[in-house]
Chain A
Amino acid sequence: MQYKSQAVAKPYFIGALALFVAQILFGLVMGLQYVVGDFLFPHIPFNVARMVHTNALIVWLLMGFMGAAYYLVPEESETELFSPKLAIALFWIFLVAAGLTVVGYLTVPYATLAKMTGNDLLPTMGREFLEQPLLTKMGIVVVALAFLFNITMTVLKGRKTAINTVLLLGLWGLAVMFLFSFYNPDNVVKDKFYWWWVVHLWVEGVWELILGAILAFVLIKITGVDREVIEKWLYVIITLTLVTGIIGTGHHYYWIGTPEYWQVWGGIFSALEPIPFFALTLFAFNMVNRRRREHPNKAATLWALGTGVMSFLGAGVWGFLHTLAPVNYYTHGTQITAAHGHMAFYGAYVMVVLTIISYAMPLLRGRAANSNKAQVAEMWSFWLMTISITFITLFLTAAGILQVWLQRVSDNPMPFMVAQDQVALFYWMREWTGVVFLVGLVVYLWSFFVKGEEKAA
């Protein structure tokens, strides 16, 4: 750690990991409800568990991005953070708001929560991933703006590098696109159309800039390859991302009442979206192969390479699988979508946040890298979590193919609920694999407490 103010990243990383645990526990609850339908009903209905699962995911990833920014921007800009105090205050505001929102989901019926929090003034709730009460949404905007102010001021007073420029572009883009969550027309077609400007243009747009910047930063540090080379790669990757990803939004406009030309535009451009993910994989492996130093943090290197591979598989390969309109006609809104969602989110965003945590946390705790023993534990958790999400994806894909066949393709299409019964075996396998994922997460957290011989920073 070169600048004192980088220390504010630590609470963000710890808060993110706490929410990660909550996300997985509720994932397991839902996984069980898939096969034991009345589990916890009516106390925690499926939809409530789902909101906690997905919203915790989004919020902990945002916390991870913020932590990453607080850690890397001072180092890139070669100056202390504009205001460390503001950063700490925002952390607590964000954590308390997230906590209260979850408590709200779990303790009052959703309709009551909507009433209590002013949804009547401006209805924004009850849409997938954007379930947060108006107050929480406004809180997110305020925290994001204050955070961006802090980070932007830091960059402005210091050195401007490609990495902190790209990171800033991504973070500003994230905040700007979120504003579309306040637009909720009665017209369902328009509602859905602009809803994707938040969801798609986040994960297949601006978030990839954040991903690229974080990965580039870690790769510079652990490989010692010239900044010039790494920054060039970064620009090439994000060019490919936005050139394909913006119009790629059209792959969500096939069946929601929008014109049919989107089947062509969305199909072609989104079919190219795997290219930037492939470039990311090449980038990570190339830089590690050309490394100029042996960084003692092997675990961080593993996470960085893993991000490359798994984001390509989850987003690139599993995305491509169902992105062309003739395929999507059958797979739209099935377990195939869920399979892709899991591997893509894990492979790209979970892994990149764990990469920066893996690299930065030892330094924040005053050592160059964790002890060998701690790193071995961390690498075990890498394999446990990564292999189990792979199997979760495979089981959901199997369930999805059967679902499509039974419910949409065969001569005598089955009703939804009947088809679900037929594929229950795969849901059981998904659930048990989810338990292995949880074990991996516990090993991961435990690795922070493993002692052993450490090199000083």
Chain B
Amino acid sequence: MDIDNVRKVAKLARLDLSEADLATMTTQLSAILSYVDQLKELDTDNVEPMAHPLPLKNVFRPDELRPSLPVDEALKNAPARSGDFFAVPAILDAGDDLSH
């Protein structure tokens, strides 16, 4: 893990980190990763890959309507609202809508 990796991950997570923060994060994240890397010492050749830690599968619910929140309740925690919409700072590049 080098500082450029951290810079990239921070950018993707929309975190604005100072150079000092980036250096601290690089040290801390490296420590975490090397701790987790200890798992590589285990021989997992004959272990099935696991998609979920719980031995559960096929959990479904029926297609039945449940009450939604009243609109005021839904918007209560929003920093800003505009009518019954969530309001967010102007999305300058509307083309962003297309990128996912």
Co-complex (A, B): no
Residues of A whose CB lies within 8 Å of any CB of B are none
Interface set of B (CB-CB < 8 Å, partner A)? none
